[in-house]
Amino acid sequence: MQYTALGRTGLQVSRLCLGTMNFGPQTSEPDSFAIMDRALELGINFFDTANVYGWKLGEGVTEQIIGRWLEQGGGRRDQIVLATKVYNKMGEGPNERGLSAYHIRKACDDSLRRLKTDHIDLYQMHHIERSTPWEEIWQAMEILVQQGKVLYVGSSNFAGWDIATAQMEARARHFMGLVSEQSLYNLNARTLELEVIPACRHFGLGLIPWSPLSGGLLGGALQKATEGRRSDPNRQQEIEKRRPQLEAYEQLCKDLDESPADVALAWLLNNPIVTAPIIGPRTLDQLNGSLRALEIKLSDETLARLDEIWPGPGGEAPKAYAW
């Protein structure tokens, strides 16, 4: 396994992050335990979850599964960097969502209880909420850090200017602020290159891409369809829309003698701003197969060809669209 610093921190995390969103809804608890055990064996020490995963209002199903896994002991908690999130609706009350100090405090305590731990290594705001002032958000986060309940704070789904605003407000309070941003980023979704990635670089945030395979589109969608393998029916329309690109992409991967999923992950890992793409395996086979991406070195020629097939926004703002 390869490791890197999480943004500008001294914290070392694996170059692949284990996403747990499937734990509960699609992956049984015993299978989830097996995946987490195997992840540790493979050297993956970065685990990501959220209080809403499991999709049963207020229950935190996935956090509970992780908590029962941690409860088995064996040094599990000390071997992982545990990340979870706050923001989404966790109850019917008017204050059971968002980024108010009231909700952040309660949500953190609830996550700690479900996860059966005394601290969260990376506490991420799941989405921006511009109706809550930053002095309130940062004061709440500072208290959690002072209490030892949270070590680092991250963001998710923030715009570039949100990152800048957050960091300047944190700096004024002599607080570390954000250390990471978790965003949608893959070959098929490159909008982040305009402003979010430059903001991450400037402020020293590590980028944690979610949906690195674009919901399976970049995981050999055409090949799987040809082989009669299971595919998401909701993706069929986009597959047809992207068919010329997918044909070119999967042919390039075939020429490289690599799987499309591995090439998609390797492309992300090639970006120095990327800390760790989130992989969300439903099975042990999917987890074991992900490690190949760490070994792939993409040539300049291959990177240029990928840009031709999956063009980005043209670079960083404003040069991407201005003279």
- pLDDT, tens digit, 9 for 90 and up, residues 13-55: 999 999 999 999 999 999 999 999 999 999 999 999 999 999 9
Taking alpha carbons only, the member of 164, 213, 130, 157 closest to residue 317 is 164
Superfamily per CATH, domain 3-216+259-297: NADP-dependent oxidoreductase domain (3.20.20.100)
Report which of 294, 270, 277, 296 is spatially closest to residue 2, judged by C-alpha positions.
294
* Amino acid 232: pLDDT: 59
Q: Convert the pLDDT of each residue in 196-224 to its tens digit.
A: 999 999 999 999 999 999 999 999 988 88
- The residues, ordered by sequence, that sit 6+ positions from 116 with a Cβ below 8 Å of its Cβ are 67, 68, 70, 71
CB 264 within 8 A of CB 213: yes
What would the pLDDT profile of 306-318 be if each residue is shown by its tens digit? 999 999 999 999 9
Tell me the catalytic residues. 53
**Pairwise CA distance, residues 268 & 276, whole Å:** 8
User: Could you tell me the sign of the dihedral formed by the alpha carbons of 195, 200, 203, 208, in that order?
Assistant: positive
Q: Per-residue pLDDT averaged across 248-255, rounded?
A: 96
The domains of the chain are located at 3-216+259-297
Mean pLDDT score, 273-296:
93
Start-to-end C-alpha separation, the chain = 43
- pLDDT for the residue 231: 57
pLDDT per position as a tens digit, 148-174: 999 999 999 999 999 999 999 999 999
**DSSP, residue by residue, 157-206:** S--HHHHHHHHHHHHHTT---EEEEEEE-BTTB-GGGTTHHHHHHHHTPE
Residue 34, Cα to own-chain centre: how many angstroms?
A: 21
**Tens-place pLDDT, residues 73-112:** 999 999 999 999 999 999 999 999 999 999 999 999 999 9
| Average pLDDT over the chain, rounded to an integer | 95
Phi, psi (deg, nearest 5) at residue 142 = -60, -40
pTM: 0.93
In the predicted model, is pLDDT for residue 7 greater than 70? yes
Q: What pLDDT, on a 0 to 100 scale, did the predictor assign at position 229?
A: 57
